[in-house]
Amino acid sequence: MILIISQNNEITTTEVIKELIAMGKKFHRVHEDEVFEIKVQQKRIVLQSARSIFFLDEITSVWYRRGGLVFKRLKYTHTAINLNMNETQHWLEDYVRKTLESRKHINKESNAHINKLLVLDKAKELGFDVPDYYLAENTCDVEIGNTVIKTINGNVMLEEIRKNKGGFMYTSVVDEHEEGDFFITFFQEKIEKDFEIRAFYLNGQCWSMAIFSQNDEQTKVDFRKYNKTRPNRNVPYILPPHIEGKIQQLMNCFDLNCGSLDFIKKGDQYYFLEINPIGQFLGMSHTCNYSLEQKIAEYL
């Protein structure tokens, strides 16, 4: 039995499930708002929620996609008892989580969210070309027009920032000096790219796609500003073996066996940008005919 930890409305999960069904593999899909109780039946641990029930020992592989396992914690009125029982419940939950993570898996909840800054430091250490980056609280030392800013956090979306309006923090070129100080911001050298590369990594293997985003004013700084009337041309791409080798080293450093990685190609150089362990890969899978959802289903 395969355990899929994901979100209720996550499209990629459904696509992988279609493959699992075709292969005749059984699975349980856990949603982000599902709360589990840990129970015991005939010496076997059972996980039960409002919509599913399964034995811990029947799970043979786990795919951590998004969301997470949530457990119900009982509270007690006496402070000392509450503290004691809180710890007891913590270790039970820890046992369940670690047992699941010790099974065959694709990514783990415990390390699915990685620190962008640590990843860049490590990538540099491993010998990747990385555009110069630094943190600053003002624009005194910023080269205007030649520097981009990015979020330090992974979530770039702000819901309902104004009434009926959301906000998206794309990679942006700093076009003017800012008066005074601001909160610590991530700055990076802007590279005039030939094209972008998105690579999907799974257990030592890479599938890549070149994105020709540089000829369109809308997409040249951040290809996620999709031009729907005239989309970027995307083609399958093969990264040189030495880059694929470094990708594997980098992923191993963060104990990740699956994820999407972004690169910029300029001349002979491949500039590493970031790893997204829970990134979307369906677009690339369809465009390049890689059937990545099938590869995931096969592994599980």
Point out which residues bind other proteins (CB under 8 A).
8-11, 13-14, 17-18, 21, 27-29, 31, 137, 139, 149-152, 158-162, 164-170, 172, 174, 178, 181-186, 225, 286, 289
Q: How far is the CB of 248 from other proteins (least distance, A)?
A: 29
- Can you tell me whether residue 205 is helix, strand or coil? strand
What letter does residue 203 receive in the DSSP assignment?
A: T
User: What whole-number distance in Å separates Cα of residue 87 and Cα of residue 55?
Assistant: 23
Task: Output the smallest distance, CB 165 to other proteins, in A.
Answer: 5
User: How far apart are alpha carbons 273 and 148 in whole angstroms?
Assistant: 12
* Distance (Å, whole) CA 254 – CA 257: 9
> Which one, 220 or 266, has the nearer CB to other proteins?
220
CB of 286 to other proteins, least distance (A): 6
> Smallest distance from the beta carbon of 259 to other proteins, in angstroms?
23
For other proteins, give the closer residue by CB, 186 or 299: 186
For residue 85, the minimal CB distance to other proteins (Å) is 32
In this complex, which beta carbon is closest to other proteins, that of residue 248 or of residue 294? Answer: 294
**Comparison of 127 and 145: residue with beta carbon closer to other proteins:** 145
Burial annotation 64-95 (CB, 10 A radius, 16+ → b, else e): bbbbebebeeeeeeeeeeeeeeeeebeeebee
Q: In this structure, what DSSP letter does residue 71 have? A: E
Shortest CB 155 distance to other proteins, Å: 12
Q: Which is nearer to other proteins, 1 or 81 (CB)?
A: 1
Q: Which is nearer to other proteins, 266 or 286 (CB)?
A: 286
Quickly list DSSP for 230-294: SPPEEEEE---HHHHHHHHHHHHHTT-SEEEEEEEEETTEEEEEEEETT---HHHHHHHT--HHH
